[in-house]
Structure 1
Amino acid sequence: MLSLFISAFITLFVVIDPPGCAPIYASLTRGVSAQHRRAMALRAVLIAAVILLIFALWGRNLLHVLGIELHSFRIAGGIMLFMIALEMVFERRTQRREDRAQKIIDTPEVEDVSVFPMAMPMIAGPGTITTVMLLMGQADGIQQRAMVLGAIAANLMLMIIALLSASAIMAVLGQKIEAVITRLLGVLLAALAVQFVIDGLKGNFG
């Protein structure tokens, strides 16, 4: 059970990337009062939690309704996560997030960033939703599913901490250290993505 929790936690941590979202949130909320910043951070994580919970509990039923086998979804999800990993290794993911944040900043009428872009797609984006569904699909029994849900909750708690202390994280990490960490996590995510694909291929053709 502990190994499952650790594996799920690390996988979700790499995909959700709380330290990477912190500087983006800091730039999006520059000039906003501390109270409003805290409220938006809590709202963003709460909305993301609801989205992820829905897909964690009923995502498999949705696949069944659409006639999609779980093994096929593992292959597709693994490929998708591998693409995210490549973007992390070559720093394309960070650049895309920064470009999205800049567009929001350049639009004066946008004041509340909790729903977009923070909750969706930065926290509960396609990669995170795919990962949650894959992990829940691999979980066998109530206890294992509870471990996966616990890993989701733990990562969302880290996200709240990261958003609330975004300015401090930027000061401590700096851009160079953050880039190194992102690339290392990208390599780890690539290996996990390949394992998802292998499991899916074994399920379909094994």
Structure 2
Amino acid sequence: MDLQLFGTAVVTLFVIVDPPGSVPIFLALTRSMDFRARNRAAWQAVWLSFGVIVAFAVAGGQILKYLGISLPAMQAAGGLLLLLVALELLTGKQDDPDSTATSNVALVPLGTPLLAGPGAIVASIVFVRQGSGITDYVAIAAAIVAVHAIILGFLRFSNVIVRVLKQGGIEVLTRISGLLVAAIAVQLIADAIASFVRQYGG
């Protein structure tokens, strides 16, 4: 296994996914859950993120080419989805039982596009394209596993934060998370627009 490639892939994916930054958003989206439900949500989010990134690492280029989807288009779509989530967090619609009973926040938006977002997907595709042998692919696979193990550790650790902040602190954290998610969404959309301009502007 190429240890240098492994280290590069781990650092790159860790910076893009940002497990510490995902904790407040995870807490905001799962604040109505008990201890066991929150742990289950953490596992589900990590497994979905892992599956999505592996799928795109293996066949991402072919999938996007077959569907005629450009990377900026996928980035813009992820940004729009996150913007809807941010509006729910800021307006308190996450508190409505009817709004959470019909969807699993561990899958969307936690698993994707927050964890397995456009940045992580593109990075995995690029790493695989640059790989030149079985040792490189093993290093990339090990890096994806390692990063998701780190993510799971951060999300499971969030239960300690819940006990410290209590319900009032989580309320404040929810609104702050809404602002952060909105900023992430706007940045994704802005980057996608800039890519479209470079691609089609001549």
Please give the alpha-carbon distance, in whole angstroms, between the structure 1 residues aligned to 2:124 and 2:32: 34
| Residue number in structure 2 paired with 1:20 | 25
Q: Secondary structure at the match of 1:27?
A: coil
Determine which of 48, 56, 60 is the counterpart of 1:51: 48
Are residues 1:8 and 2:16 paired? yes
**Quick one: structure 1 residues 188 and 104, their matched pair in 2 at CA, closer, same or farther if it must change by over 3 Å?**
closer
RMSD of the alignment, in Å? 4.0
- Counterpart of 1:110 in structure 2 is none
Distance 1:48 1:19, change over 3 A: same
The unaligned stretches of length 5 or more in structure 2 are 1-7
Structure 1 residue runs of 5 or longer lacking an equivalent are: 30-36, 108-115
In the superposition, the TM-score normalised over structure 1's length comes to: 0.61
Tell me, what secondary structure is at the counterpart of 2:190?
A: helix
Q: Which runs of 4+ in 1 moved over 6 A?
A: 203-206
Counterpart residue type for residue 80 of structure 1: A
CA spacing shift, 1:121–1:96, aligned 2, 3 Å: farther
Q: How does 1:19-168 map to 2 (within 5 A)?
A: 19-29=24-34, 37-38=35-36, 40-60=37-57, 61=59, 64-65=62-63, 67-68=66-67, 72-87=69-84, 91-94=86-89, 95-99=92-96, 102-103=97-98, 117-126=104-113, 128-131=115-118, 132-139=120-127, 140-141=130-131, 142=136, 147=143, 150-163=146-159, 165-168=161-164
2 CA distance for matches of 1:77 and 1:93? Answer: 22
Residue 173, structure 1, aligned to residue 169, structure 2 = yes
1:154: how far off? 2.5
Does the aligned pair in 2 maintain the 1:44–1:119 contact within 8 Å? yes
How many residues align? The count is: 181
Shift of 1:187: 2.0
Determine the C-alpha separation between the residues in 1 that align with 2:172 and 2:98. 24
Local SS of the residue matching 2:67: coil
Shift of 1:53: 1.8
Identity, in percent, stands at 11
CA distance in 2, matches of 1:189, 1:174: 22
Counterpart of 1:18 in structure 2: which amino acid? Answer: V
Q: Distance in 1 between matches of 2:145 and 2:194?
A: 24
Counterpart contact for 1:4–1:147, Cα < 8 Å: no
Answer yes or no: is the 8 Å Cα contact 1:85–1:187 preserved in 2. no
